[in-house]
C-alpha cells in the first residue's frame, strides 16, 4: 500500500474538477464530436472524406485526459461524460424514489444502479492499491453523558484498511461496416449506449456480487456482511423481512446513512409487487417506487440462483444499505481507453470497438449493509 497516497477528499475534489472541466470543454466542441467519423478515421479504408474538425475534437479531449492523469492510452481516452451525454435513465438502473446526489459523477454511468444509487466514483488513482481507512463493521455508539468532573469514557474506534485494487474491465461492441456507413441509423447513439450499458452492467455485477477473482469482491460475498436468514430452506419474501433489514442496518451503522437503498433483481421486484403485506390484505409489499420510504434499484445482475438447504438454485438476494459507502475507483481518468480494431473481423466486414479501464470497487463500511440471500421469488 502506498504510504504517501493522495487523501481521499483530495481525490474526490479532483474527480469533480476533472468531470466538470471535461464537460465544459466538450460543450464547446459538441457539434464536432461525431463518433462515426472518429471510428472511421481509425480504419485503414475510411472510404469517404472525414471532417478534420471531428478528429481534432476527439484528440483534444483525449489529450486533456492524458495531461490530467499522466496516463497514456493504447488508443484514445474517451471520457465517460462524452460516452454518456444525452443518455437517459429509462433503463436497468431501475426504479428511483427520492433525489439523486448532485455530484457530477452521478451522470457518468446513467445505466448503473449502484452509481445512480449514490456510489462514489473517483479517478486519478495510481500504484498497485489504494487504501481506504474504515471503521469496524459494528459502529461503537457508547459515548454518552457523564457526571461533572468524571472522566469521559475511553472509546477507541477500531479502524481497518479496506483496499481498492485495480482490475481490468473490458467491454466491446461489434458493428458492420455497412451500418457504420448508413445514414438512416444514429450510429453515435447506438455505440455510446451499448458501451455505457455494458460497462454499467459490469460495474454493478462486481459491486454487488463480484467473486474477487480477477474482479472486485462484491458486497454479497463480503465476509463481514450481515446476512439474515429467511428460513432453513429459504422462504417467500414477507413485509417483515424489509423491517428486519432496516432494523439491522440502522442498528449496526448507528443510523448514519446518506443513501439508503434496496437493491434487488427484476424477478424479486415482481414477487414483492404481487405479495400482500398481510395475509388477506389489499395492500402489497411493494406498490410504488420505494420501500419503507427508501429508494429502490433493480439490477439484472442481482442473483436469483442461490441455494439454501433443499431449495435448489431458487433463492434471490435482497440487499439494503447505504450505497454512498461504495467506492468505484478509476486508475487513470474517468474515461475508457477507446480502441478501434479494424483487423480481427475484417473478413466478416465488421469492426470491433473495445473499451478498457482499470477499476477497483470496495464498500468502505460493510456495516452499512445487510442482506437476505434466501428469498424464494418464484
Segment 185-219, tens digit of pLDDT: 888 999 999 999 999 999 999 999 999 999 999 99
Are 48 and 36 within 8 A, CB to CB?
no
The pLDDT score that the predictor gives to residue 154 is: 64
Q: By C-alpha distance, which of 33, 99, 120, 129 is closest to 334?
A: 120
Integer CA distances (angstroms), 108 to 167, 211, 214, 265, in order:
19, 25, 24, 23
CB 48 within 8 Å of CB 30:
no
Q: What is the pTM of this model?
A: 0.88
Q: For the residues 264-273, what does the mean pLDDT come to?
A: 97
Query: In degrees rounded to 5, what are phi and psi of residue 322?
Result: -90, 100
pLDDT number for residue 161:
75
Domains in the chain: boundaries: 1-138+159-378
Residues 180, 352: Cα–Cα separation, whole Å = 11
The answer on pLDDT for 262 being more than 90 is yes
pLDDT, tens only, 245-261? 999 999 887 777 788 99
User: Phi, psi (5° rounding) for residue 329?
Assistant: -110, 135
pLDDT at 130 over 80: yes
Nine cell digits for residue 316:
434471490
pLDDT digits (tens, 9 = 90+) for 20-61: 999 898 888 888 888 999 999 999 888 778 889 989 999 999
Residue with cell 472522566: 151
Question: How many residues appear in the chain?
Answer: 378
Annotation: CATH topology of 1-138+159-378: phage-related protein like fold (3.90.1690)
Question: Mind spelling out the 3-state secondary structure of 97-154?
Answer: CCCCCCCHHHHCCCCCHHHHCCCEEEEEECCCCEEEEEECCCCCCCCCCCCCCCCCCC
- Ramachandran angles phi, psi of 205, nearest 5°: -60, -40
Mean pLDDT of 146-171: 79
Amino acid at each position: 500500500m502506498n504510504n504517501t497516497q493522495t487523501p481521499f477528499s483530495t481525490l474526490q475534489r479532483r474527480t469533480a474538477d476533472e468531470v466538470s472541466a471535461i464537460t465544459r470543454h466538450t460543450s464547446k466542441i459538441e457539434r464536432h464530436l461525431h463518433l462515426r467519423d472518429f471510428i472511421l478515421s481509425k480504419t485503414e479504408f475510411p472510404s469517404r472524406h472525414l471532417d478534420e474538425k471531428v478528429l481534432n475534437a476527439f484528440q483534444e479531449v483525449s489529450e486533456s485526459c492524458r495531461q490530467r492523469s499522466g496516463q497514456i492510452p493504447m488508443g484514445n481516452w474517451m471520457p465517460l461524460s462524452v460516452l454518456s451525454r444525452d443518455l437517459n435513465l429509462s433503463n436497468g438502473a431501475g426504479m428511483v424514489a427520492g433525489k439523486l446526489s448532485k455530484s457530477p459523477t452521478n451522470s457518468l454511468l446513467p445505466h448503473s444502479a449502484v452509481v445512480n444509487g449514490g456510489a462514489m466514483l473517483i479517478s486519478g488513482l495510481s500504484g498497485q492499491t489504494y487504501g481506504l481507512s474504515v471503521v469496524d463493521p459494528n459502529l461503537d455508539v457508547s459515548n454518552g453523558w457523564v457526571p461533572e468532573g468524571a472522566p469521559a469514557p475511553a472509546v477507541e474506534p477500531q479502524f481497518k484498511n479496506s483496499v481498492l485494487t485495480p482490475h481490468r474491465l473490458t467491454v466491446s461492441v461489434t458493428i458492420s461496416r455497412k451500418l457504420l456507413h448508413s445514414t438512416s441509423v444514429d450510429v453515435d447513439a447506438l455505440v455510446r449506449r451499448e458501451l455505457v450499458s455494458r460497462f454499467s452492467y459490469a460495474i454493478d455485477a462486481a459491486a454487488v456480487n463480484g467473486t474477487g477473482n480477477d474482479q472486485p469482491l462484491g458486497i454479497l460475498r463480503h465476509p463481514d456482511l450481515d446476512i439474515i436468514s429467511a428460513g432453513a430452506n429459504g422462504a417467500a419474501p414477507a413485509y417483515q423481512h424489509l423491517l428486519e433489514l432496516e432494523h439491522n442496518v440502522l442498528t449496526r451503522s448507528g443510523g448514519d446513512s446518506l443513501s439508503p437503498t434496496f437493491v434487488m433483481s427484476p424477478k424479486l421486484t415482481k414477487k414483492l409487487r404481487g405479495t400482500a403485506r398481510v395475509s388477506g390484505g389489499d395492500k402489497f409489499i411493494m406498490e410504488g417506487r420505494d420501500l419503507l420510504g427508501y429508494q429502490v434499484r433493480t439490477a439484472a445482475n442481482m442473483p436469483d440462483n442461490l441455494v439454501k438447504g433443499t431449495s435448489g438454485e431458487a433463492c434471490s438476494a435482497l440487499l439494503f444499505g447505504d450505497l454512498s459507502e461504495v467506492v468505484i475507483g478509476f486508475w487513470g481518468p474517468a474515461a475508457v481507453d477507446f480502441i478501434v480494431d479494424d483487423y480481427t473481423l475484417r473478413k466478416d466486414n465488421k469492426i470491433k470497438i473495445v473499451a478498457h479501464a482499470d477499476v477497483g470497487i470496495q464498500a468502505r463500511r460493510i456495516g452499512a449493509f445487510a442482506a437476505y440471500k434466501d428469498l424464494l421469488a418464484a
